[in-house]
A and B are shown apart, each in its own frame.
Chain A
Amino acid sequence: MLTALLLNLGDTALASALRQSDIGYPLVASAHILGLGLLVGSIITLDLRILSIMKRGSLSELAPLLSRVAACGVMLAILTGVLLFSVQPAHYLGNSAFLLKLALISLALINVALVHSLPPWRAILAGQPATLLLKLSALISLTLWLAAVTAGRWIAFV
């Protein structure tokens, strides 16, 4: 059902246009990289600050700012990612690095949802120091996002 839906993406007018255009794909791919830059740049900064590896700036100010930039980045990356995927859905669904990347992104997003609903997040917004649980989630976040970027680049090498 889901697979059929994903495969159908390849039959859309937009996918067809992307396959034929000389500049469409490189432009969308550039926007995808911009999304990754915003996402990973801000999330690494925030995670390292939560882990106290970086010490400057107050978490109560940095956390909402950086997580919002990361949210914009991830939305841009997902939007452009769907377009890049639509060019040849069957090819990507058969690529193990791509499937691994999707699994890693799903785990990372679950981590985001969990962290933002837990009391330690509200505590740092209120100016309190990061708890051990929050530091652990920052470490998980760092690992998952970096692994997702690596798996993504690996798509071209399997």
Chain B
Amino acid sequence: MKPEANSSPWNRRDFPEAAREALAAEPLPTAPFEHSQTRRNVRHATDIIQAKRNAVVAELPEWQALRSAGAAIRAHTLEHLDHYLLEFEANCVRRGGHVHWAADAADARRLVLEILAPHAPREVIKIKTMTSEEIGLNACLEEHGIHPVETDLAELIIQLGHDRPSHFVVPALHKSRGQIRDLFASAMHRPELTDSPEELAAAARSYLRQKFLTTPVAISGANFLLADTGGVCIVESEGNGRMCLTLPDVLVTVVGIEKVLPCFQDLEVFLQTLPRSATGERMNPYNSIWSGTPAGDGPREFHVILLDNGRSPILADAESRQTLRCIRCAACLNACPVYHQTGGHAYESVYAGPIGAILTPQLHAMHDAQSLPYASSLCGACYEVCPVEINIPEVLIHLRSQVVQQQQSTLTGSLGLWNIAMKSAAFLMQDGGRLGAAVRLAQTAQAPLVSRNGFIEWMPGPLSGWTKTRDLPALPAESFRAWWRRTRSAQPATPAASEPRHE
């Protein structure tokens, strides 16, 4: 598939550059006792969610079994995705729904516009959906004179602030209460608002209630599709989603093809693991499952748009297929020490954090976002919390190898510093004598860099990244292997120094 998905509304810089900006408020990385407001907000929010998540996960002695079951169900579904999607389509249509297939983002946007055209809406209400962000739906609707109204509280904050989500479960987590108060006060013309959570929620409620009662068209994503019933499932915390699903006449659901589950009963696993992983709740306050258009209940017209947009090629790669098991709980973001520092915006991607670092470049067929697989120290915290056991570090390494191969296939890449350094190191590391000689050479060659205190405090080129904030010990005069040879084994060069022990 062509990387048409590049029409993403996100502006993409390399991660290190964007991250530097995110960290910029910090004056001295060696003495960062003052973090920026955004970093404090991100750290505070992720710490709270992590603690809640750990507590409710610890309650379940069968947690590991649930993870394995979730991984097995998702892996099985992906192996037979064509079968389950067709089954879903048949059952959804049988119950009065319409199913559309979108190959890419442009296709999906066109389908939404075609579905909306006969109703000619001026506004549509929206349930929080990352798929919509992925296809750049809001900008497209605005272009065609349709105003999308985000009804999820956090998405509303993002929309009113002309901001971008920084987390896909709690999109406004980078905002503090005070910042939200200021935003509401100006956007809703309510200067009297304080930053009490109750008052802010009430302000959003009165703003949104009018929209629910007067807007006839809603757009949603989905957490799960159920093949055996043609059902669609959304879990949420506020009930605003439920309003969007029940009050309007027309409902359009845009959903990635990987979101299907074989049957209703599979929810017994995911409705336990998803809320605990995502928000640290035992159960979501609102769990909606609907199928088709039953008489006298809910929207009269219901459409599902099944979105591929770069997913099929991921499915074809046995190594990284597990990426598509993701149920978007964002536990990996909350656990990630890189995300803690940078927040979500530095990823310059709809999907941030560890899962974004593997999903985004793959959705772009590895033609874009090549710096994201390197945005990880491979610490493994993401894998540890993933409720469907996606081995994110393993996929990161796999994707790094693809980036390396791309670079090696170009002249500038193969003559680049990194490639030459890695190739040379690999040559040295195939022979103990060679490596020993290289170390001896380095012991002499380092001299100009070594300070009086025995440390290296400045290095050139790409190595300067280390010495900007860290000292490096100088190589001691005698390596371990030299010490061993001197004290433990016979040395042909200086037989007098030899001891009876031999290798």
The answer to whether A and B interact is no
Q: Which residues of B contact A (CB under 8 A)?
A: none
